[in-house]
Amino acid sequence: MKSGRRQSRSDTPKHPSGSGGPDAEANQQAVTTESHPHDRDYDQTPLVVAWESTQACDLACDHCRASATKRRHSDELSTEEAVELFEDVASFSPQPMFVVSGGDPLWRPDLFELLQAAVDIGITPSVTPATTSRLTEETIQQFADIGVNRMALSLDGATAASHDAFRGETGTFQTVIEAAHHAREAGLSIQINTTVTAATVGELPAIADLAEELGAQMWEVFFLVPVGRGAQLAQITPERAHQVTEWLYNRSREASYRIITVEAPFYRRVARDMASETGDETPQVGSTGAGNGFVFVSHTGDVYPSGFMPLRAGNVREAQLSTIYRDAECMQRLRNRAGFDGPCGDCPATQYCGGSRSRAYAATGNPTGSDPLCPWVDE
């Protein structure tokens, strides 16, 4: 890995009704009537860097992007290589938000050493542990003591029966409830992550209520991209996606937490349209996307525009992440929205929406094609 020199965090800022802190997850779409607190040139520096610390996980979730397994890969980044990655992340200016994901990061015996190293370098990491027996009260207290920015917990059903079925393991629902309680006691901010599929969409209102009860600062709603094991799941229709995003906007106006969407950039257009209809102040909207404000580093150091787009841009063992992000041809192509194809290229919302590049790639093999979930694609 090339060493990076440390030189020194969305465009998804807080909705006026939200109460969350800085975003902890990737490729978000949120709205605000405030100025952007993280203005940056996405050609030069991303808003979010997500590092898949390991592919290992005890769970076998139906939607898993990583098709996680119950063993670590022999070629995972070493402790030293990971710290070099952190130093390069810290060299971006302004500094991006940094997410330690998996698999389950708790499979790495050096996780707490790495989180402390990130904090010492000047990065405030967020972490997305799996809700297994590894996620103990002591573990959560360690996250808080180190200075982790936020812990994300997945909740894909409003009951133990539905959530545990989706996660493939009995008891995971109760682990989420207990982990949220321990996080509140430790003073650690939590985020609830929910995957939208044909099977889970009907429970969104109840999940939203439960997130409120759990004291979440943010609710991240991920619209399924059919990759990994998720390719076997039924997606919602574009019409249903439109209904869901309209409901999310209305919910965001009253929720105590902030709501963001992932892989549903058309939410930005919905938010602008609904604000106009209701007489709300016109919201500013984000513009992040795969390779355009967001970058993903795999457990073996491969760099991708998104964890949902298997289009390899390089490897941090061969070049600095900053160089790959700025110079890789696929990254530059994804940042050139004027070159998008089909309806997404002709859409008046291209510059602030642009469609899900990951879903376009999964559906067509073309990263600049049109997002088949967008409600306006067939108009």
Q: Is residue 354 part of a domain?
A: no
User: What pLDDT does 236 receive?
Assistant: 96
Q: Is residue 365 part of a domain?
A: no
- Tell me the two tokens of residue 354: 């642009």
Output Rg (C-alpha) for the chain, integer angstroms. Answer: 19
Q: Is residue 376 part of a domain?
A: no
Task: Name residues whose C-beta falls within 8 Å of residue 159's C-beta, 6 or more positions apart in sequence.
Answer: 173, 206
Q: Over the stretch 315-357, which tens digit does the pLDDT of each residue have? A: 999 999 999 999 999 999 999 999 999 999 999 999 899 999 9
Q: Is residue 129 part of a domain?
A: yes
User: What pLDDT does 27 receive?
Assistant: 44
Q: Over the stretch 41-78, which tens digit does the pLDDT of each residue have? A: 999 999 999 999 999 988 766 656 555 577 788 899 99
**Strands 293-297 vs 48-52: parallel, antiparallel or unpaired:** parallel
Give the count of domains, the chain. Answer: 1
Distance CA 118, CA 106 (A): 16
Region 289-304: what's the mean pLDDT? 97
- CATH number for position 83: 3.20.20.70
Average pLDDT, the chain: 87
User: What pLDDT does 276 receive?
Assistant: 87
Angle at the Cα of 157 (from 272 to 187), degrees rounded to 5?
A: 80
Q: Is residue 378 part of a domain?
A: no
Region 105-117: what's the mean pLDDT? 97
Q: Over the stretch 140-189, which tens digit does the pLDDT of each residue have? A: 999 999 999 999 999 999 999 999 998 888 999 999 999 999 999 999 99
**Residue-by-residue DSSP string for 120-136:** HHT--EEE---SSTTS-
* Nearest 10 degrees: Cα torsion 82, 84, 85, 89: 140
Region 361-370: what's the mean pLDDT? 95
User: What pLDDT does 294 receive?
Assistant: 96
Q: The whole model's pTM is what? A: 0.88
CB count, 10 Å around CB of 281? 10
Q: Is residue 379 part of a domain?
A: no
Boundaries of domain holding 334: 28-338
Name residue 274's amino acid. M
User: What pLDDT does 18 receive?
Assistant: 29
Sign of the CA dihedral running 310, 88, 299, 107 = negative
Q: Is residue 64 part of a domain?
A: yes
User: What pLDDT does 34 receive?
Assistant: 37
Q: Over the stretch 223-248, which tens digit does the pLDDT of each residue have? A: 999 887 677 788 999 999 999 999 99
Region 96-110: what's the mean pLDDT? 96
User: What pLDDT does 171 receive?
Assistant: 94
Q: Which one, of 151, 176, 140, lies nearest residue 61 by Cα? A: 176
E strand residue ranges, the chain: 28-29, 31-32, 48-52, 97-101, 125-127, 150-154, 190-196, 218-223, 258-262, 284-285, 289-290, 293-297, 302-304, 314-315
% of residues, the chain, pLDDT over 70: 86
HEC sequence for 35-73: CCCCCCCCCCCCCEEEEECCCECCCCCCCCCCCCECCCC
